[in-house]
Every structure is written in C-alpha cells, then in structure tokens.
Structure 1
Amino acid sequence: FTSGMETFFFASEYGGRLEDGLRIYRRYFEICRVLGIPRVVFHGDYRQTPFPFQRHCENYLLLRRTAREYGVDFCQENVVRCKCGLPEYVRQMREYTGDDVSFVLDVKQQRRAGVQLEEMLDAMRGKIAHVHLSDYTQQNDCTAPGTGGLALEPFFRELRRGGFAGDIIIELYRSGFSSMDELLASAAMVNKIYAGCSVASGSEKEQCP
C-alpha cells in the first residue's frame, strides 16, 4: 500500500520520513521471511521531483541492506511515472550503487515510457531478477502474452543471454484479458516457449523451438 508513497519516504529532505519509511519496510521484509517471499519490488522516486538521484540511490541501498538481513532481494522496477522508467536512470543507478542492484523489468511500463525494449534490456543486463510480462495491440497496451505484437522468442533469448534465471509473471490489468481460460492458455504458451529458449553454454548459438 506504500508503493505510491515511496517518493514521500525515500526522496525527502526530512530524516524522520526516511526513518518512518524504513520502519514500515522492515516490517514487510519480516513478513517476507515468514512467508518465504523472495523479493520486494520498489518503484522509487517520481520523475518530476528535484531530490538528487544519487541520494535516492543511497536510500535504496539502505533498504537493500536491510532487506538482506531477512533474506529478501530488494528490486527496482522500471515504472513510467518514476525516474527508473528511463534507461539513463537505470544506468546511473548501477553506477551510484556500485552495481549492487536488482531490477524488475516490466515490459508494459517500458512501452508506456516510450522506451525500446532492447534499450531497457541493455541497461538492466545481468541484473534482472524478475519480469512482469504482457503483450500489446493497437487498442490496448497491456494484453495477455501471445495476443499481440511482442515477439516472445527473441525476448526470451535476450533474457537468457543476459544471464536471467529468475521468475516471470504475467501481469495484466482487468481490461487486458477476458477470461481465466485466456490467462491459462497464455501461461501455458509462455512456459513452453521460455523452456525451449536458451543460449548454448560456451557459445553464442541460440536455441529456440
């Protein structure tokens, strides 16, 4: 419930707000440990705020170190309304954190930011821990995978080439699918294609059904 308040807590000149935010997020990390949840997804600072991005990254590192105490990976997502929705901020974040960062790649947010998927993949390469997957049509920019223009096989090959070994979830809004059967069919197709896509060890040869 605090995802929309992260700028308030973690991109603020008021130390008390940072302390309050850290206290709330520590509780999240505790719950994650109890339930076996491996990661917490962070949206971060809004694009329009004047708060120095390097300081925001320092606060991210504070949260990340705290999450590690509970065995939790604290991940930065590319969100269109936030600074890390743009590849240049992703690259800066890697620099400012000494590459101590994990990313969640959300392909619908990348589309909405007007960013090419290849560019965001390149910016996050080697540090993607989780993927939020969706497709798109001319009428809707967030539909079930396999219903639109996203070429899944090349996308999965690029993920594999960058060392990705995490989880992929289909993340849609209610307007993006019509039935549970559609979701199940999409998930089955994604599983089949992803399982068959790999980059052969020790070579650049790509394998995909």
Structure 2
Amino acid sequence: MLFGISTACFYPEVYTEETLKIIKNIGFELCEVFFESASEMTGDYLKAIKKGMDESGLKINTIHPFPSPFEPYLFDKYERRRLEMEEKFRLACNAARELGAKYYVFHGERNNKQVKDAQWTAKVMDYLCKVASEYNIALAWENVSWCMGSNPKFIEEVIGFMKEDLYFVLDFKQALRSGRRVEEYINVFKDRIVNVHVSDSNEKCDCLLPGYGNYDIRGSVEEVLKFNKNCQFIIEVYRDNFGEVEEISKSYEYMLNLGV
C-alpha cells in the first residue's frame, strides 16, 4: 500500500517547500504537493520545492494546484477567457513534470445545478488530457462536493463521451460533504482510481486525521485495492483538524497498522 500525506495539511502556517522536512521527519516517504499559489508553480519557489524534494528523498506521484482561480474557466465557452486559463493549466502541468509527478489532481467545473452538459465537459476533458500528456502528466478528476465531479452519474456520462484516458481521485470527506457513500464513486472510478485522499470523521466533524474518528477507513481502502493494488493513499485534512504534529505521527501509525 502506497501511503503518504499532502503538503496542504500545513496550510496556511507553513510554506509548501518548508513542509517537506516536517513530512520527512514524521516518517513519510511519499507526499502530494499542493501548490498554494500560482507563483509556486514556476521560478524560484518551484526550484525551492524541487530542492526540498531532492534533499528529503520524498517521492511524489501527484500534484494538486490551487484550482479555484482557473480550473472552472477551462470550461468557459468564451474562448479568450478559456485560453487565458489554459496558460495556468499548462503552468501546473509543467510544474508537475519538473517535480517528477505522474498525475494532476483536478477539480474542474463548479457545480451548476441548472446546466449539466456532459458532452461539452467530455470535449474539454479530452482536450485537457491531451495537453497534460504533452508534459507526460495524466489528469485525475476528484469528487469535490462543490464541483460537477461530486455527481457519480454525471461522471459516468462524461466518461461515456470521452476518447482519452481519464483517471480519478477519491476523497472521503468530499464524498460525505456531497451526501454520498464512498462506494458510489468507487463503482464508477473502478480501475481508473489512482489516488485517495484519506480522512476520518465522526458525528461532529466530517474531516479528521485517520484514526481520530469512527469512519470505516479499512473497509473503504480494501474496496479501492480490489480495483487498483497500486493506488496511493494520501492523508489530506485541514490545519484546524488537528493540534500538534505528533497527532499526524499517530495517524501515520494507524494507517500502517490497518493490515491491508
């Protein structure tokens, strides 16, 4: 089981490049790099992140850009705006290549309850997959509650229209926030699932470190592994979901002891 953590867990207290030493000191060997600003995807900041990766020896399989300012507009039918946003998308793909990542974790369109154009979404996704492939990167669509990817049926429709290879990221907390069971997404993603954002939950909070709630993490992990034995599992919570860094260490031990 490939197991790691996202640099996003330390936002906004620690700069992305500075999280890498913390992550390594906890004992992780794998991480997901979340770019918290466009400036981190190029120039000196990107060089600092790459240097931190090299010095720590951490492995990276996925990157996750700060998506809100540009990804929804990649689907805009106003061409000038769409082309401007494509520049940001290409910047993220290039940054992923520079760090040696394989997948780009993608949010995509915001949830639009009035218009659900699966054919248009598929057309754009096909194009974005082609662009990403120019950088030897693959697109991995995440089930984010405030985006169109929160609806398994819509995802299934989009896949049906697509020609390019598309992969998926399963996020436990986002499934809860969408009011859906994790299994609904697994049954659609199947063997295309390449990354899981792991979190725990209880009656009071839908996002906790693994081992700090009562969600059946082992059960969901086992279901994912039926489809992809090489899937990576990344702890992704928010900074206000834990106190001291030692809690992450305990969560890491919990995941290692799942026995799957």
Q: TM-score range by the shorter chain?
A: 0.7 to 0.9
Which of 46, 69, 72 matches 2:137?
A: 72
Give SS of 1:60's match: helix
Q: Unpaired runs of 5+ in structure 2?
A: 1-36, 38-65
In the alignment, does 2:198 pair up with 1:141? no
Aligned to 1:29: 93
Query: Is the 2:108–2:141 Cα contact (8 Å) retained in structure 1?
Result: yes
Alignment partner, residue 20 of structure 1? 84
Maintained 8 Å contact 1:129/1:164: no
> How big is each residue's C-alpha offset from its partner over 1:91-125, in whole Å with a ceiling of 9 and x where there is no partner?
11221214721011011000000001111111111
Distance in 1, Cα, partners of 2:70 & 2:119: 16
For 1:38-57, list aligned pairs within 5 A: 38-48=102-112, 50=115, 52-57=117-122
Q: More displaced, 131-140 or 163-172? A: 163-172
| CA offsets 1:17-53 (integer angstroms, 9 cap, x no match) | 2221222211221122122122211111122263623
State the partner residue of 2:217.
152
Whole-angstrom distance in 2 between the partners of 1:89 and 1:96: 11
1:191 Cα offset (Å): 2.5
Change (3 A) 1:101 1:57: same
Aligned length: 195
TM score, norm. by length of structure 2 = 0.70
Residues in 2 aligned to 1:164 and 1:45: alpha-carbon distance in whole angstroms = 29
* Counterpart-to-counterpart distance in 2, 1:89 and 1:7: 18
d(CA) in 1 for partners of 2:84 and 2:164? 26
Cα deviation, residue 8, structure 1 = 4.5
Percent of residue pairs bearing the same amino acid type: 26
Map 1:61-100 → 2, pairs under 5 A: 61-98=126-163, 100=165
Contact residue 129 and residue 139 of structure 2 kept, 8 A: yes
- Give the 4+ runs in structure 1 shifted more than 4 A: none
**Corresponding position of 1:117:** 182
Identify the residue that residue 206 of structure 1 maps to in structure 2.
none
Does the residue aligned with 1:4 lie in a helix, a strand or coil?
coil
- Judge which range, 90-99 or 143-152, deviates more: 90-99
Distance 1:101 1:119 in 2: 18
Asked if 1:130 corresponds to 2:195, the answer is: yes
Flag the 1:167–1:12 CA change in 2: closer, same or farther, 3 A.
same
Q: Report if the CA contact (8 A) 1:128-1:164 is conserved.
A: no
Confirm or deny: 8 A CA contact 1:132 1:170 kept in the other structure: yes
Give the TM-score of the pair, scaled to structure 1.
0.86
Higher relative contact order (CA 8 A, sep 6+): 2
Structure 1 residue identity aligned to 2:73: F
Whole-angstrom CA distance in 1 between matches of 2:132 and 2:203: 40
Q: Which stretch of the first structure deviates more once superposed, 133-142 or 153-162?
A: 153-162
Amino acid at match of 1:128: I
